[in-house]
Amino acid sequence: MTAVPPVVLSSASVYPLNVHDAFSVSHDLGYDGVEVMVTGNKISQDGRQLLSLVERYDQPIYAIHAPTLLLTQQVWGSAWNKMERSAQLAREVGCDVVVAHPPFRWQGTYATGFAAGVKRIYEETGVRIAVENMYPWRARGREAKMYLPHWNPVPQPYDFVTWDFSHAAIAMMDSHQAFKDLGERLTHVHLCDGLDNGKDEHLVPGRGTQPVTEAMHHLRDSNWQGVVAVEVATRGAKGAGRREEWLAETLDFARTHLARRNEEPAPPGGEQAGAR
């Protein structure tokens, strides 16, 4: 029987808490591991400190998210340096996937040579650069072309792709169909939900309009071999324990819908955590 894809917690899901908190929450809720987003936080950039957290919390790192967001433009200098250092960090902590956003159109030769560059890094390091789907930016009803070659990775020549449901919602794309179109190029999934209201909300699955259940069943039925990383925004969680409730709910959703036929899903996050 093919193994069920691991379900891991993105450190972005505990923002504004830090990467240390992500490991703690992931362990307590019974996740399989962590995706680390590299930010200005020094621990997120330091392989030795990350490995110390891996050991302390028994939570392996399954992916590194490169600092390619607008808010991390000052981290690690030039665009190619960000990518190469992210790949080096991935190797240091024992994983082989780097999640990266497509280039902004003003990034010159980095943008025009991006597809060839990420392929080169993979060939040199063995680390897969999984390019994430983004969405069109709109101003006064017109699309502002922000990304090169495009915000949609499906028709691009990338060998490895990360799919984010919230971004797909803004772009008004059908994630279930995108999974079919990507086939084996689909490497990594950011599990969340969204609405086609232009806001990148990263909702708990089932609270938006994306066909998340159908997409998860596609992964289950196609014996997909990638990683599902929960990337749910919890900054707006009010009251003690609400963040953990949302993240436990999303973990249970993932395990329920990824369970292979004739298999029982893993126990709810709280029960699994208590069994550790």
pLDDT digits (tens, 9 = 90+) for 54-87: 999 999 999 999 998 877 878 898 999 999 999 9
270 or 170: which carries more pLDDT confidence? 170
Q: What is the pLDDT of residues 86-141, one digit of tens each?
A: 999 999 999 999 999 999 999 999 999 999 999 999 999 999 999 999 999 876 66
Give domain limits for the chain: 7-263
| Amino acid in the structure at residue 82 | K
Mean pLDDT across 154-179 = 97
Q: Is residue 165 within 8 Å of 212, Cβ to Cβ?
A: yes
26 or 146: which carries more pLDDT confidence? 26
Per-residue pLDDT at 151 exceeds 80: yes
| Amino acid in the structure at residue 143 | E
SS (HEC) of 77-136: CCHHHHHHHHHHHHHHHCCCEEEECCCECCCHHHHHCHHHHHHHHHHHHCCEEEEECCCC
Q: Is residue 187 within 8 Å of 177, Cβ to Cβ?
A: no
Q: Is residue 16 within 8 Å of 24, Cβ to Cβ?
A: no
Q: According to the model, what pLDDT value does residue 69 have?
A: 82
Mean pLDDT across 247-266 = 85
Residue 8 pLDDT class (50, 70, 90 cuts): very high
User: Biggest alpha carbon distance in the chain?
Assistant: 53
Q: How far, in Å, CA of 137 to CA of 141, rounded?
A: 10
> What Rg do the C-alpha atoms of the chain give, in angstroms?
18
Could you tell me the two tokens for 5?
Answer: 């894809």
Per-residue pLDDT at 173 exceeds 80: yes
Q: How far, in Å, CA of 220 to CA of 223, rounded?
A: 5
CB-count exposure of residue 238 (10 Å: 0-12, 13-18, 19+): exposed
For the domain made up of 7-263, give the CATH fold: TIM Barrel (3.20.20)
Q: Is 25 helix (H, G, I), strand (E, B) or coil?
A: helix
Query: Rounded to 5, what percent of the chain is helix, strand, coil?
Result: 40, 15, 40
Mean pLDDT across 225-243 = 92
Average per-residue pLDDT for the chain: 92
